[in-house]
Structure 1
């Protein structure tokens, strides 16, 4: 099979179902890193830093996905109400170690396996683990801080690899971003792909127990949720994707930080992941 033709055909599909967008103007809220080649890994970092007029800083002690969780503050959300362990994880992610468990719905497992083999493992991007043993030894993660010209963090690359093999599973760009007309910022995650990306806008809320909820509901275009961006013949197209995610980050009865992650296609649960997070520094 000509896999290059497969990738091109995929972009053509998203062009057909999407709408043309202007990332330098009206739709600047959708501007996010893309990959120059089929294999993603960490090749997009330098270009993203250049877009901010800054640099990529690797190995920064205590680096986090977000400069400060308080950037999410607004009507209905106050970062000070979160458990301190949760804030510490997002602001000092490199100080935490992760273990992962995965459970696929039998209905979606065959499609997930096909996508993993044809895209995820080959591109080294969005390679969701398919079996519990795939991540039995856990995941390693690396934070690359992306700064602007004033050396202020604007985003962070979170590069996660399977500990047993060293293969990339996820290579994402994390930041805070306010959607058009929104009353407060949310968490923005972009996964670069060749001539495009997958983006997720997550709305934060906190529970009475100090836990954090991040949700990407099925809102209209311009609202929270998942988007696929594709470039074709010098034009850029964007489409809503029927992917809805929920993250619940909490501290259990034994004081352990954990995350329950559910990914749904339309209204059906496709895969559930559970993360155990332990501070190692």
Structure 2
């Protein structure tokens, strides 16, 4: 076992001890793609398609993270309350181009640099930009729907790369999911990792101005939030809720430009702010 393999194995052991055993047959809200070994990138997509009995669509120029935002309709949220551009971004994500700006809290920046060095660039996953100039040339993205045997979209793979280096920032699987601790559906984002994943469940609300707000705040196990899931040597699953909280506000500004404010906190610490400007590709 190489040095990095030992680090990755020790990390999974840590999460098993911090987490709890879960049965994905009885807790299907935690079912999400994982990866086998090596850099993640888009390596998980074909396995996810095989598990669904379907295929990956690699050439849909209008693919969306969620084919229809009414899948999120429920107590406290109705998709028709959103600005049309906000809704179009989620339903036809591939038609949009993204530029980004980032700013770390001085207290959190060393930890972000450590994660980026030890994991992000090496495994091509969760490579959160640390320096503002990292994203100065923008972000390229591809949306790759994963279909089941009947042709329904069960996941959307969203790969975002830095234009300057072609490094993968995020390789995520997107769908809507209901969790036991929330009345309505959430946006479910899974980031596959070797023998596990990071999952985030974001509860939606619509502002009066048509903006979409997605929150993964603090709460109990089973509520919207962030989770780490790992697979042990016998194939059993363990999941831990982690104190990482995110808020996305997707809105149209006074000039009709679609934008997103993304705030990330670790516990009470405001750690990272990202701002995205989206334009038609």
Report the Cα offset of residue 124 of structure 1.
0.4
Per-residue Cα deviation, 1:227-274 (whole angstroms, up to 9, x for no partner)? 000111122110001100000000001100000000000111110000
CA distance, structure 2, for counterparts of residue 148 and residue 26 of structure 1:
21
User: Residue 85 of structure 1 aligns with which residue?
Assistant: 85
Identify unmatched segments of 5+ residues in structure 1. Answer: none
SS at match of 2:57: strand
Runs of 4 or more consecutive aligned structure 1 residues displaced over 4 Å after TM superposition = none
Distance in 1 between residues matched to 2:114 and 2:218, nearest whole Å:
25
Partner residue, 1:273: 274
Aligned position for 1:160: 160
Matched, 1:118 2:131: no
Offset of residue 38 of structure 1: 2.9
Partner SS for 1:66? coil
In structure 2, how many angstroms separate the alpha carbons of the residues matched to 1:193 and 1:276? 28
Counterpart of 2:23 in structure 1 is 22
User: Aligned equivalents of 2:153 and 2:21: distance in 1?
Assistant: 30
Whole-angstrom CA distance in 2 between matches of 1:118 and 1:237: 23
Separation in 2, partners of 1:59, 1:157:
13
Gaps of 5+ in 2: none
Paired position in structure 2 for 1:65: 65
- Any idea what the Cα deviations from partners look like across 1:1-55, whole Å, max 9, x if unmatched? 81110000100100110001111x2221101000111310100001111221111
Q: TM-score, normalised by structure 1?
A: 0.98
Aligned-residue offset at 1:61? 2.3
1:47 aligns with 2:47: yes
- Name the stretch that deviates more: 181-190 or 259-268: 181-190
CA RMSD of aligned residues (A): 1.0
2:164 matched to 1:170? no
* Cα pair 1:38 1:193 within 8 Å, conserved: no
Inter-partner Cα distance in structure 2 for 1:85 and 1:149:
31
Deviation at 1:59, TM superposition (A): 1.4
Q: Which stretch of the first structure deviates more once superposed, 157-166 or 45-54? A: 45-54
Question: Partners in 1 of 2:61 and 2:276 — Cα distance?
Answer: 23
**Cα distance, 1:181 vs structure 2:** 5.4
Aligned length: 279
What CA distance in whole angstroms lies between the structure 1 residues aligned with 2:201 and 2:66? Answer: 14
**TM superposition score normalised by structure 2:** 0.98
Query: 1:219: Cα distance to partner?
Result: 1.4
**Residue in 2 aligned with 1:248?**
249
Which residue is equivalent to 1:131? 131
Alignment-derived partner of residue 31 in structure 2:
31
Q: 2:151: which partner in 1?
A: 151
Aligned partners of 1:59 and 1:143 also within 8 Å: no
CA distance, structure 1, for counterparts of residue 118 and residue 76 of structure 2: 42
C-alpha distance in structure 2 between counterparts of 1:205 and 1:6, whole Å: 39
| Aligned equivalents of 1:204, 1:130: Cα separation in 2 | 27
Aligned to 1:101: 101
Q: Distance in 1 between matches of 2:43 and 2:170?
A: 13
